[in-house]
Amino acid sequence: MIKNVIFDCGGVIVTLNRDNCLNAFSKILGFPDFGKYLSDYAQKGFFSQFENGDLKASEFRQIVRQHSTIKELTDEEIDYAIGSFLTDVNQAKVKYLLKLKRNYDLYLLSNINPIAWKRSKKLFKESYGVRMSDVFRKRFLSYRMNMSKPGEEIFKEAVREGGFIPEETLFVDDGQANIDTARKLGFKVLLFDVNKDIEAQVQPLLDANSIECERKVKADLND
Catalytic residues: 8
Task: Please answer whether residues 41 and 55 qualify as being in contact, where contact means their C-beta atoms are separated by less than 8 angstroms.
Answer: no
163: left (phi over 0), alpha (psi -120 to 50) or beta: left
CB 83 within 8 A of CB 24: no
